[in-house]
Amino acid sequence: MPDKFIRSTSTKKTMPRQARLDAPGFLQHVIARGAERTTIFCDNHDRKVFLDRLAVILEESHTQCYAWALLQNHFHLLLRTDSIPLSKVMRRLMTGYAVTFNRRYKRRGHLFQNRYKSVVCEENPYLLELIRYIHLNPVRAGLVKNIRELDTYSWCGHSTILGKRENPLIQDIEGVTSRADKSLPEQTVQYILKLFGDNVENARKKYRSFVKKGVAQGTRPDLQGGGLVRSAGGNPEGLLGRKKGQRENSDARILGSGVFVTEVIQKSRIDFPNVVLNKPSLEELTLKVTNHLGLAPKTLLSKARNRNVSTARAIISYLAVKEAGYNQKEIEKYLNISRIGVRNSISRGEKCGEICRQIWQKFK
First to last CA, the chain: 33
Beta partners for residue 29, in sequence order: 78, 119
Length of the chain as a residue count: 364
Q: Are 248 and 231 in contact (CB under 8 A)?
A: yes
- Name the 3-class secondary structure at 118: strand
| Its pTM surpasses 0.75 | no
Cα 306 to Cα 248: distance, rounded to the nearest angstrom: 60
The pLDDT of residue 191: 94
pLDDT digits (tens, 9 = 90+) for 178-233: 444 678 899 999 999 999 999 999 999 999 999 999 988 877 777 765 544 444 44
Query: 181 exposed, middle or buried (CB, 10 Å; 0-12, 13-18, 19+)?
Result: exposed
Question: Is there a common fold for 27-267 and 282-361?
Answer: no
Beta-strand ranges (E) seen in the chain are 27-33, 64-70, 74-80, 117-121, 254-255
Question: In one letter, which amino acid is 281?
Answer: S
Give one DSSP letter per residue of 217-241, joined into a string: GTT-GGGS--SHHHHTTS-GGGTTT
Task: Please tell me the class of the 282-361 domain.
Answer: mainly alpha
CB count in 10 Å sphere of residue 164: 14
CB count in 10 Å sphere of residue 322: 14
The pLDDT of residue 72: 94
- In CATH, 27-267 is 3.30.390.10: no
Domain ranges of the chain: 27-267, 282-361
- Angle among Cα 55, 61, 64 to the nearest 5 degrees reads 65
Is the Cα dihedral 213, 118, 224, 98 positive or negative?
A: negative
How far from chain centre, in Å, is Cα 295?
26
The pLDDT of residue 270: 55
Give one DSSP letter per residue of 236-270, joined into a string: GGGTTT--GGGSPP--TTEES-HHHHHHHHHHTTS
Taking only the tens of pLDDT, the chain with its 364 residues reads: 555 555 444 444 444 455 667 777 889 999 999 998 899 999 999 999 999 999 999 988 889 999 999 999 999 999 998 878 898 899 889 989 999 999 999 988 889 987 788 888 888 889 999 999 999 999 999 999 999 999 999 999 999 999 999 999 987 644 444 444 678 899 999 999 999 999 999 999 999 999 999 988 877 777 765 544 444 444 444 433 444 443 445 667 888 877 888 888 777 755 444 444 556 788 888 888 888 888 887 777 666 667 888 888 888 888 888 777 778 888 888 888 887 888 888 888 888 888 888 888 777 5
Question: In one letter, which amino acid is 30?
Answer: V
Q: Are 317 and 351 in contact (CB under 8 A)?
A: no
- Angle among Cα 213, 214, 215 to the nearest 5 degrees reads 95
Element (H, E) at 84: none
